[in-house]
Structure 1
Amino acid sequence: MTLPDLNTLRRILPIALGVALFGLGVFALVHLMHSLDPATVLAQMKSTPPNALLLAVAATAVGYAALVGYDALALQFIAKPLPARIVALGGFLGYAFGNTIGVSIVSGGAIRYRIYSAFGLDAFQVAAVSGYIAAALGTGLTLIGLGALSLHPWVVSQLVPFSPGQVRFGALALLFGALGLILFLSVGRHRLRLWRMDLHLPGPRSLAAQLVITLIDVAAAAFALWILMPAGTPPFASFIAIYAIATMVGILSHVPGGIGVFETVVIGTLPQGIAVSDAAAALVLFRILYYLLPFALGFIIVSVNEARLAGGMMSRIAGRIPASSRPAIEAVHGFAPSIAALVTFGFGAYLLLVSLIPSVRESAMVEGEFVAALLIEGGTLLSAMLGVVLLILSHGLARRIRAAFLLTLAALAGGACAALLNNLDLETATLLLAGALLLLPFARGFPRQAKLTDAVFSPGWFILVLGVVLAALTFFLMYRTTPYSNDLWTEIAHGANTPRALRAGLLASALLLIFAVFNALRPVRRKPVSAQEDGVLEQVSTILNKSGHPHACVALSGDKQFLFSESGASFLMYAVKGGRWVALSDPVGDTAEFTDLCWSFIDLARGASAQPVFYEVSADNLAIYVELGLGLHKIGEEAVVALDTFSLSGSSFKSMRAAHNKRQREGLSMTIALPPHDDAVMRDLQAVSQSWLGGKSGFEKGFSVGRFDPAYLDRFPIALVRRDGRILAFASILAPGDGSRVAIDLMRYLPDEASGMMEFLFLSLIEHYRDAGALELSLGVAPLAGLSSRSVGRMWSRVGRFIYRHGGAFYNFEGLRAFKQKFRPDWRPRYIVVAPGLSPTRAMADVALLIAGGPRGLIGK
């Protein structure tokens, strides 16, 4: 038995801690509510005074307005201010969806990236915003909680083995210590070395504004709950301490929204005279108003924006989009399918719970009427069945499958009919129909024609379904006083809630079991094709010429596999190494099909028990990878020369211009040979290549770079450097389509002609393609260049910078970038994108083996 490595333990321990805290919270909650009557809780919720509900809604509005202030301060901190309307949209949607989904720094960060990147922020700047928000909220919440505890220490006397005096002393010590450290760092502009990170705080003014925002946020949220609490609840000043402690414990639990954990702490700190049912009713209402209501408002905002983008009658009804806001609205469209999937999952869980929880409404049908009992029976069973169907369809929606969207609309309409059969439940029927109507504008976000059940067994989907099932199983607590009898399964009557719930639960469980078995037995369908299959490279070449993407031409090297879109107009190239499927660069072809291709690639990789990796992707499509839940790590920068503005005139190019002219006088010349190439020329090139390889450690490279293969080189123009008719150096040129974008691929020269050869060849190519009317020339990627040295840098950045500075024995990365910098290029970032939990260094090791052709290619002969 092998023990898990350190990286595995680091990934497992936080999850294990979260599961343990969640389990303890559920255990404590069940213990506190063992005598709870759900009918009493529902009745208490309905009897809540309207003015208390209005005040709670108003407090919620104030709280969310304050939360948006965090975004404004974070953008100011990184010196990237945005228009107020954009900050309001990104901040509100980030919190509205993030607070409900849980792990707000991830889900809220993904939403912010979509919106803020449309206005110039990159992935790391948005990550800095999310990190700032998390740190500000955590710090402010801690300070407020400690301050409230120092004033009201008795509120936690039942939870900790300390006296109120000891709690007050400990809270004050921690409070003043934290305040002193914060002021020292902020006023003195000092940095704090915390484990492996250097942290620094904003200035005093920003820090004061942050504290004010935190006070408003926490006070508003605490008031929204306090106003709903029953009589006997501690005064508001004391209740803030209870709320702050419960929120902190909920965040530490890693449970979405702190569900169960938050409620346990609040109920456990209340005076003993307060009925648990009354407190539970207030907590449920608080969840609805503070979490579900903003989520519903955010869903409506996204739906309206989708209608405005759809065109036709929908856009006329919803109104036109101002030009200044259109980038943000179009950015919102990117995560609309994920929101639709989440809403559908919520409706599925809701229908399951409705079918299992007994009705507490006054009967809408005649008591004892057999037909009425049958209708209620059918409505309950149909609700349970459609609840499971919606859970399954939500996975298809997350993967943007068209059939899942259409079936979701049908299932919601069916659920509304089932609700009417189930005791004329008009509220549920209205809710489901409203959801279906709001989903209609989302139709454009579901273009895929994939199978509904492909890759459905993802860990995230299993965890979500398990949570719903566990929540649904609590219905047994509601019927614990009903003695079990076999007759319960067959009894049909208007008031037979227990038998009806048992049958509904059995049906829902049976559907999930059948679905699981069906998927487990389905054969895996694979669509990738290899480069050796007939017609594949010709199809790839056609797509390349339409796209004009020069670096993607390495797809023709013959060492990759391809995944084509359904239309055949786009492809994604990849290779398999160990347990990783490594896709090279972004998809190529029709940009509208890129998301679908990435989804399909991930599905296929995970179906083969492998981890998907995207290597050397550009910044153009980062939003797709963020939406897929993958992690971004910068691996270098591509040097691209703008040919339409390039000129050797001026003092900055004086020495380079003089050296170039000198080599021309010495007899060097460069010409471009177009394919197909003469056999004699190819033999001369092979001699140069073999001579060049003899002076390098390692074998012929591949995967992300071209290799010397006559069939491969015969597809491209080749730059030839000669002296007295003899070929001294050459470079293959990737120039697909109209040739407006070109790139240098394979470049080799005779070792004894190394001095100044690369500079001469690069300058000659720049001038040639500039005169030919090309717009840009790529000089290739400088690996590991441009990695962040800021305090927010990750371990990968630190490792990469170390290799970049000290890896000369392996490859002169720093010298390569310095050489290319002489041509004043535009440096464009390149990334490796990996699944959560996969180390980028481990993924890069596999990529290095792919490029080198194996371990021998890395260490040489």
Structure 2
Amino acid sequence: MHLGRPDLQIAGLDAPLSTGGLTGRIRARVRPLRGPLLLFAVLMITVLAFEAVRGILAEVRFRDIRGAIASVETGRIALAGLFTAASYFALTFYDWFAIRTIGRDLPWRTAALASFTSYTLSNNLGFALLTGGSARLRAYGAAGLDFGDVARITVIASVTFWSGVIAVTAAALLFARTAIALGPVTIAPLVQHLIGLLLIALIATALALRSRGASAWRVGGTGVPLPRARLLAAQIGIAAIDLACASAALYVLIPGAPLALFGTFFLAYALAIVAGLVTHVPGGLGVFEATILALVPLGHAELFAALLLYRLIYYLLPLALAGALMVALEGHRLRKPLLAGLGVADAIGQALAPPLLALLVFVGGLVLLVSGALPGLHGRMSVLREIAPLPFVEASHFAASLVGTALLLVAPAVQARLRSGFHAARLLLLAGAMFSLSKGIDFEEAGVLLVVAAMLQYGRPAFYRRAGIGSAPVERWWWAAALIALALSAWAGFFAYQHIPYSDELWWDFAWRGNAPRFLRAILGATILIASWAFWRLMSAAPAASEPATLLAEVAEAAFAAAPRTDAQLAFTGDKSFLVSAAGDAFLMYRVQGRTWVTMGDPVGPPAAWPELIWELRRRCDAARGRLCLFQLSTDMLPLVVELGLQPMKYGEEAMIDLDRGFTLHGSLYKSLRHSTNKAVAAGLVFDVIPAARVSAQAQALRHVSDAWLAGKSGPEKGFSLGRFDLDYLSRFDCAVLRLEGEIVAFANIWETRNREEMSVDLMRHLPDTPYGTMDLLFTRLMQLGVERGFRRFNLGMAPLSGLQRGPLAPVWSRLGGAIYGNGERLYGFSGLRAFKGKFGPRWVPRYVALSPGISVPRALVDLAMLVGG
């Protein structure tokens, strides 16, 4: 029910980032701190929320809440379960209506499976864009939708949610009979009625605008389609039903709550939902409860008891059902691969089983932590006293809290499908169940842990990655959730024992009724364990796995002999790692940026060796839980890209000049080129080629040109897909130069294939005050040189983002790239670069980027931009 708004910004991949003066430099310095600052803010908000709840419940004892929970009738709990089921059923139509709005045709069961699991995750973890959004993208990606479709579904579902909030709030205000106290402000019934009428008018206006032809909502340059008026009304209605049922699930759990108070209660409920959403606290924990307790004028003990039951029924029970469903689908797929795995449900299960299992493991740890903070039931402790010695019970209590903390920390390894994480989580769950029984005969929590262990065991084949637990990436939001879980258990203990005055002797008090001392020792052990784990992660962060950054001479010789493309020479830039074929006749160059494994161009060597290299890199990337990105591929690689299950996206076009029949400037096509080259020759420019053996002798002159050229650029030298000014690199190739009065004013190193298939250049630099037509003359002479040396074609290089379709039926990447190409001239000369190369009458050849589909696409593109942009 908690939705986030996706904010996506993609810049030109080859464009250097412009800091924009002092403001830009400040932003550049602050940007790396956004994540830690957000984490700190979330933790502080959580602490304040817990403190607010503690202040509200200052006069309430733990036994009062336990008694209030016991007083809730079974019928009320069953009714709350029915309202919860109705709410989640209504949630499935958010996505189904959104799918219909964007013109896609997926069955309701697919939308129901995707929305149920995504809302279950986001409801419990918060950070809706990262948790529910990623789950939705995984699920719909498995069903065949692309990133743009999922983004539109998310936005439309968010609009549906807020429409429902407005509609039900309007109804509650219209039927209000009592004043509402919101802190120091009191709203009279008449004012409530007027606000309700205003909200209804707002909804009616939206419906009227849609019925009169408003068909899309513009977000920047992207249009989000609006449904037809009838469908929009249905969306508002279904959202109203969802929110009414969700709030009713909590309201029926409050003993003695009058029906006349429901309007006031719903306003508080809506405000609590919004507060939990905007603060990003996982699950709104603490924030939701504090808002309800502060605004609803009912008994605090009964209200807090209802909130605890509501957390169990509306949040944790659907999570368990979603986890069981996804694990069942995944286990069935892995155990019967010939009968399963081809359907959409199996694909969704494969995508969502790991995060749901990880969350269930996390919840198991939270259960142990909170249970260790609360006093045991007196009757059960009396039975335990007859069968076990006190030291055994004390040790079991402390061990249970440590096991719970360890489960929080192991959960990311479960999400990463690490076999070590599976074994550790299974052992911890079984140990936790045993300690639950031996510390207080808590068979309820032992049952929960055993159920999670059974789910984990059924999904065992899914854990195939061989790596240590510490290799699993832990996102900031997961650390936030772990710290909030620790804070919740500490808060629960301090609340339960608030009537016991603190003294240092409590730490050493071992007694059957020593619940408070046991809590203090347990929370200290849990805190030390989390702090030690964080310190170990910080100090033992392993570097990204990679192959040696040197290429054996014999491998290079064999591979270059069969290479038809000149960009194979990028192997000598010194910034890449290499994967070599078993036969030693081919290699693949790549680099790891963040968690993205980026290859450069096609594999170098015989095409028969390409599948071996690509599949091996895919296996290594998957084992490291990385993101695979194949950059600047030719059309020859597309069949293999499809076989890998990657998503190919056109990156731009490469300009090819066919030299088979010579190269001449005759004809009207080359009129402007003839003019510019003639002007350059008349200005005194002379073309020359410096052999590779003599390039080092011209180092000073070449560096002077390079430094002057770089001084006129706003960004640093690019890398990875281009060479840098490095004499060891430049000395491997012949160098074309233009001289003016004997001095070098422009140069370009010459790339050549061994089989005379292709000639090209890499580094092209000139002085800023060179005569008109300098680069035209340089390329013209190089092509003529290519004809003399017998090459079949001359490669003028890439025109990034050119040739992309921009129509309404084009993929979202193509439309975004086309928009950047058309409007991003300030960042990078996209159209100017293509126009320059177009003067030579080239044949344009497409080049591609291939990525693993899903939520990782934007992050992979950012890593690629950082790598290519230097």
Q: TM-score, normalised by structure 1?
A: 0.72
Q: Give the aligned partner of residue 129 of structure 1.
A: 153
Deviation at 1:439, TM superposition (A): 0.5
**Of 771, 782, 803, which aligns to 2:800?**
782
1:54 paired residue among 78, 84, 106:
78
Partner deviation per Cα, 1:792-827 (whole Å, 9 max, x = no partner): 999997983455456785763564899999979778
Output the CA distance in 1 between the equivalents of 2:325 and 2:587. 33
1:197 positional shift? 7.7
Q: 2:573, 2:724 within 8 Å by CA — same for their partners in 1?
A: no
Cα distance in structure 2, aligned partners of 1:128 and 1:816: 38
Residue matched to 2:746: none
* Unmatched segments (≥5 aa) in structure 2: 1-21, 601-612, 667-688, 711-716, 734-748, 765-774
> Where does residue 42 of structure 1 map in the other structure?
66
Larger mean CA deviation between 168-177 and 353-362 belongs to 168-177
Which of 235, 250, 260 is residue 276 of structure 2 equivalent to? 250
Deviates more, 1:841-850 or 1:477-486: 841-850
Q: Specify which of 364, 386, 401 is matched with residue 347 of structure 1.
A: 364
Is 2:476 aligned against 1:476? no
The residue that corresponds to 1:93 in the other structure is 117
Output the CA distance in 2 between the equivalents of 1:563 and 1:662. 37
Q: Structure 1 residues 124 and 170 mapped into 2: Cα distance closer, same or farther (>3 Å)?
A: same
2:394 is matched with which residue?
A: 377
Once the two structures are TM-superposed, the CA of residue 788 in structure 1 deviates from its matched residue by 7.3
> Within the alignment, does 1:812 sit opposite 2:826 as a pair?
no
Q: State which drifts further: 367-376 or 75-84.
A: 367-376
User: Which 10-residue stretch deviates more, 387-396 or 786-795?
Assistant: 786-795
Count of matched residue positions in the alignment of Structure 1 and Structure 2: 760
Q: For the residues of structure 1 that align with 2:488 and 2:114, how far apart are their CA atoms?
A: 32
Distance of aligned partners of 1:507 and 1:187 in 2 relative to their CA distance in 1, 3 Å threshold: same
Distance 2:138 2:304 in 1: 37
Shift of 1:756: 14
Residue type of the partner of 1:231?
G
Provide Cα deviations, 1:478-520, integer angstroms capped at 9, x if missing partner. Answer: 1122233444333333332222222222332333344445455
Distance in 2, matches of 1:287 and 1:38, equals 18
State the match for 1:502 in structure 2. 520
Tell me if the contact between 1:345 and 1:394 (Cα under 8 Å) persists in the aligned partners.
Answer: yes
Contact in 2 for aligned 1:530/1:560 (Cα 8 Å): no
Change (3 A) 1:500 1:830: same
Structure 2 CA distance for partners of 1:555 and 1:389, relative to 1, 3 Å: farther
Which consecutive unaligned segments of at least 5 residues does structure 1 have? 602-612, 627-631, 642-655, 667-678, 717-728, 736-741, 769-776, 851-861
Q: Which residue of structure 1 lines up, in the alignment, with residue 376 of structure 2?
A: 359
Q: Distance in 2 between matches of 1:499 and 1:415?
A: 20
Which residue of 2 is the match for residue 556 of structure 1? 571
For 1:819 and 1:114, the matched residues in 2 are separated by 45
Task: Give, in whole Å, the separation in 2 of the partners of 1:220 and 1:734.
Answer: 72
Contact 1:247–1:258 (CA under 8 A) maintained in structure 2: yes
Q: Which residue is equivalent to 2:247?
A: 222
Q: Spell out, residue by residue over 1:701-727, the C-alpha distance to the aligned partner (whole angstroms, 9 max, x if none).
A: 7512579999999999xxxxxxxxxxx
Tell me the residue number matched to 1:584: 598
1:212 corresponds to 2:237: yes
Give the SS at the match of 1:280.
Answer: helix
Tell me what 2:330 maps to.
306
Q: How far off its partner does 1:348 sit? A: 1.5
Q: Using the alignment, how far apart are the partners of 2:143 and 2:841 within structure 1? A: 28
* Rounded Cα–Cα distance in structure 1 between residues aligned with 2:829 and 2:454: 63
1:349 alignment partner AA: L
**Residue 391 in 1 paired to residue 408 in 2?**
yes
CA distance in 2, matches of 1:820, 1:213: 60
- Indicate the residue corresponding to 2:129 in structure 1: 105
For residues 646-795 of structure 1, the aligned pairs below 5 Å read: 703-705=720-722, 751=776, 782-783=800-801, 786=804
State the Cα distance separating 1:241 from its structure 2 match. Answer: 3.3
2:624 counterpart SS class: helix
Provide the rounded CA distance (Å) in 2 between the counterparts of 1:373 and 1:185: 72
2:354 corresponds to: 337
1:30: Cα distance to partner? 1.6
Aligned twin of 2:256: 231
In 2: Cα distance, 1:143 partner to 1:733 partner: 68
Is the contact made by 2:651 and 2:848 (CA closer than 8 Å) also made in structure 1? yes
Question: How much is the aligned-residue C-alpha RMSD, in angstroms?
Answer: 5.8
In structure 2, relative to structure 1, the CA distance for the partners of 1:333 and 1:831 (3 Å cut) is: closer
> What residue number does 1:800 align with?
820
> 1:665/1:526 Cα in 2 relative to 1: closer, same or farther (>3 Å)?
closer
- Is the contact made by 2:806 and 2:819 (CA closer than 8 Å) also made in structure 1? no
> CA separation in 2, counterparts of 1:130 and 1:542?
51
1:337 shift after superposition: 2.8
Q: Residue 424 and residue 18 in structure 1: after superposition, are their counterparts in 2 closer, same or farther (change >3 A)? A: closer
Q: Does 1:321 align with 2:340?
A: yes
Deviation at 1:424, TM superposition (A): 2.2
- Aligned partners of 2:127, 2:88: CA distance in 1, in Å? 17
8 A Cα contact 1:25 1:264, kept in partner: yes
SS in 2 for 1:71: helix
Between 1:65-74 and 1:163-172, the stretch displaced more is 163-172
Q: Letter of the 1:596 partner, please give it.
A: A
Separation in structure 2 between the aligned mates of residue 833 and residue 88 of structure 1, nearest angstrom: 21
| In the alignment, structure 1 residue 139 sits paired with structure 2 residue 158 | no
Are 2:316 and 1:289 equivalent residues in the alignment?
no
- After the TM superposition, which of the residue ranges 584-593 and 777-786 deviates more from structure 2? 777-786
Residue of structure 1 in register with 2:103 after alignment? 79
Query: Kindly tell me: are residues 473 and 703 of structure 1, through their superposed partners in 2, closer, same or farther at Cα, counting changes over 3 Å?
Result: same
Given that 1:584 and 1:616 are in contact with CA atoms closer than 8 Å, whether structure 2 keeps it comes out as no
Distance in 1 separating the partners of 2:781 and 2:374: 80
Deviates more, 1:301-310 or 1:257-266: 257-266
Instruction: Name the CA distance, whole Å, in 1 between partners of 2:395 and 2:560.
Output: 57
Whether contact under 8 Å (1:560, 1:575) holds in the other structure is: no
Cα pair 2:560 2:753 within 8 Å, conserved: no
Find the partner of 1:465 among 482, 498, 508. Answer: 482
Partner SS state of residue 560, structure 1 = coil
Tell me the residue number matched to 1:653: none
Query: How far, CA to CA, are the matches of 1:217 and 1:570 in structure 2?
Result: 56
Q: How far apart are residue 208 of structure 1 and its match?
A: 1.2
Deviation at 1:88, TM superposition (A): 2.0
1:5 corresponds, among 12, 26, 32, to 26
- Which amino acid letter does the alignment assign opposite residue 259 of structure 1? L
Question: What is the identity, as a one-letter code, of the residue corresponding to 1:409?
Answer: R
- Give the alignment's TM-score, normalised by structure 2: 0.71
Question: Equivalent residue for 2:285?
Answer: 259
Give 1:160-199 correspondences, 5 Å limit: 161-165=185-189, 167-168=191-192, 171-172=195-196, 174-176=198-200, 178-190=202-214
Pairwise CA distance, 1:681: 11
Verify: 1:411 aligned to 2:425, yes or no: no
Q: Distance between the aligned counterparts of 1:146 and 1:684, measured in 2?
A: 82
Deviation of 1:26 (Å)? 2.8
- Residues in 1 aligned to 2:465 and 2:251: alpha-carbon distance in whole angstroms: 47
Equivalent position to 2:448, from 431, 437, 440: 431
Contact 1:785-1:814 at 8 Å conserved across structures = no
**8 A contact 1:246–1:266 mirrored in 2:** yes
Q: How far apart are residue 375 of structure 1 and its match?
A: 3.3
| Alignment correspondent of 2:6 | none
Which residue in 2 is equivalent to 1:610?
Answer: none
CA 1:554–1:221: 2 relative to 1, 3 Å: farther
Counterpart CA distance in 2 for 1:38 and 1:91 is 37
Q: 2 CA distance for matches of 1:549 and 1:19?
A: 56
CA shift in 2, pair 1:815/1:333, >3 Å: farther
